[in-house]
Amino acid sequence: MNSRFSRWLAVAAFGFCLLVLAPLAQAADTDIGKNKAIVQAFWNDVFIARNVDAAPRYLSPTYQHHDPHMAPGLKGFQDYFRTAFAQTPKNFKAEILKMVAEGDLVVTYSQYSGADPQGKTFTGTGFDMYRIQNGLIAEHWDQVEPGQ
């Protein structure tokens, strides 16, 4: 093979790779946006609206929550939050303050506040990390810091 043809072939192969890989890089950015939207909708529909019945729209049937205090799976999530929401003060407020994502992971930094039945106010913050798979939340990890 002559060197001119070899260089042309190398340039053509490189150009072909760019054409093939560029849409994949754009797809990854789109997936991050979709993943963040899934987590935000999950928060809005389940936590803020306190609608445990909406959870199956967002949680995988094989959902894993890495919390030793909660029974495993979607049913464990729903059972836990049915009880928690029944005991949550009406003035309880939860909101996502920041959200970042990379690949299939979405991390939120949230704040919550309210008052207990005796009127004592409280606030706290938390970090949550979600792994998205096939458009659903497949895993969740959290760290909550109680406030005053």
DSSP-derived secondary structure letter, 54: G
More confident residue, 92 or 58: 58
* Of 142, 143, 128, 138, the residue nearest 58 (C-alpha): 138
The residue behind tokens 């199956």 is 56
The type of residue at 134 is: N
CATH number for 132: 3.10.450.50
The residue range of the domain holding 30 is: 3-146
- pTM for the full predicted model: 0.75
Between CA 6 and CA 14 the distance in angstroms is 12
- Give the chain's domain count: 1
Whether residue 133 contacts residue 141, with contact meaning beta carbons closer than 8 Å, is answered with no
pLDDT in tens, 31-77: 899 999 999 999 999 999 999 999 999 999 999 999 888 898 999 99
